[in-house]
Amino acid sequence: MVKKEDFFTEENCVSYVSEDEYARLSPFIEAFDVVARTTYKSIYIIDYYRRNFLYVSNNPFYLCGMKAEQVQAMGYDFYLKFTPESEHRLLLEANRSGFQFASTVPSEQLNEYVISYDFHICPPGKVPTLINHKITPLKMTPGGKHVWLVLCVASLSAASKAGNIEVTRLGDEALWTYKNRQWTKERSILTKREKEVMSLLVRGNTTKEIAAKLNRSENTIKLYRKKIFAKLTVRNESTAVLAAINRRIV
């Protein structure tokens, strides 16, 4: 049985953060409150020293009918209550694999990386919703040895099932995927032409319009679409658009 304490591993053991350091966080919290008002996505901050949630936005999408203050007080127990028990190990694996990956990256570069994975949340009396979860380091401990705070963003997932543990890096088209308990670096998911097609799809262009803009036949564009859907493991245009945005492909 997975417990809240299992998410705080020896790989990232934060031994001490002073109250003075916490006192300096007010501008961060105010800034995230402003950002949260501009999006449907839920934003929160995990504190690896106090082992709780330092901040939870008021966006109702992720809160399972609870108030932000209640979710903040629950911390990691929120996951264990509202995520299917069958996916608790997935959450733990995502957490551990993320710190495993972080151990291979210079601490001054960690904030360039984002780990992403998908899991279900189950609001009481409602159908489970598959969400995409993105986490990136926000602040390191004084001295930069361990991750103190991480920023988390929850949004709708374009995936068909839970899992899909991946890492992306700002300005890098490569994708790191976690399978069979190891990380593998892959080249860019889409080719240059496929990205052009995807970019036009995101902007609402039809197949006919894309064909005209790229000077290709409609059949060729349909073939590109088919390849894009396969690579993103989606079934239709709307989920392809969501997947491309979530993965920052376009």
pLDDT tens digits for range 145-177? 889 999 999 998 988 899 999 998 887 778 899
**Using 50, 70 and 90 to split pLDDT, how confident is the model at 231?**
confident
Express each pLDDT in 5-47 by its tens digit: 888 877 778 889 999 999 999 998 999 999 999 988 999 999 9
Query: What is residue 248's three-state secondary structure?
Result: coil
Q: 160 and 231 share a domain?
A: no
Nearest to 136 by CA among 128, 146, 147: 147
Q: 131 and 222 share a domain?
A: no
Q: 149 and 221 share a domain?
A: no
The number of folded domains in the chain is 2
Q: 209 and 171 share a domain?
A: no
pLDDT at 202: 87
The neighbouring-strand residues paired with 140 are: 147
Mean pLDDT of 55-67: 90
Q: 145 and 74 share a domain?
A: yes
Q: Which of 186, 207, 232 represents a domain boundary (last residue)?
A: 186
Please report, rounded to a whole number, the percentage of residues in the chain having pLDDT higher than 70. 100
DSSP codes, 34-77: HHHTT-SSEEEEEETTTTEEEEE---GGGSTT--HHHHHHHTTH
Q: How far apart are alpha carbons 214 and 18 in whole angstroms?
A: 57
Q: 202 and 220 share a domain?
A: yes
Q: 65 and 130 share a domain?
A: yes
**Using 50, 70 and 90 to split pLDDT, how confident is the model at 236?**
confident
Q: 118 and 241 share a domain?
A: no
Express each pLDDT in 192-209 by its tens digit: 899 899 889 888 899 999
Q: Are 112 and 170 in contact (CB under 8 A)?
A: yes
Q: What is the CATH number of the domain that holds 205?
A: 1.10.10.10
Q: Are 165 and 117 in contact (CB under 8 A)?
A: yes
Mean pLDDT of 68-92: 94
Whether 233 has a pLDDT exceeding 80, the answer reads: no
Q: Is 197 exposed, middle or buried (0-12, 13-18, 19+ CB in 10 A)?
A: buried
pLDDT at 96: 92
Q: Which of 137, 166, 186 represents a domain boundary (last residue)?
A: 186
Q: What is the CATH number of the domain that holds 52?
A: 3.30.450.20
Q: Which of 170, 186, 202 represents a domain boundary (last residue)?
A: 186
Q: Which residues of 224-250 are buried (b: 16+ CB within 10 A; e: fewer)?
A: bbeebbebbebeebebbbbbbebbebb
Q: 196 and 182 share a domain?
A: no
pTM of the shown model: 0.82
CA 10 remoteness from chain centre = 23
The edge-to-edge listing of strands for the beta sheet with 129-140 is 52-56, 42-47, 147-156, 129-140, 113-121, 163-169, 172-179, 182-186
Q: How far apart are alpha carbons 6 and 218 in whole angstroms?
A: 52
State the angle between helix axes of 207-214 and 218-231 in degrees (0 to 180), rounded to the nearest 10. Answer: 110
Q: 235 and 137 share a domain?
A: no
Q: How far apart are alpha carbons 52 and 38 in whole angstroms?
A: 25
Q: How far apart are alpha carbons 168 and 170 in whole angstroms?
A: 7
Whether 250 has a pLDDT exceeding 90, the answer reads: no
Contacts of 242 (CB under 8 A, 6+ apart): 156, 157, 158
Q: 104 and 200 share a domain?
A: no
Residue with tokens 């598959």: 130
Domain span holding position 216 = 192-246
Contacts of 116 (CB under 8 A, 6+ apart): 132, 133, 134, 135, 164, 165, 166, 167, 168, 246, 247
pLDDT at 85: 93
pLDDT at 144: 78
Q: Are 102 and 114 in contact (CB under 8 A)?
A: no
Q: Are 14 and 103 in contact (CB under 8 A)?
A: no
Mean pLDDT of 48-57: 94
User: Residue 34's CB: how many other CB atoms inside 10 A?
Assistant: 8
**Using 50, 70 and 90 to split pLDDT, how confident is the model at 234?**
confident
Q: 64 and 159 share a domain?
A: yes
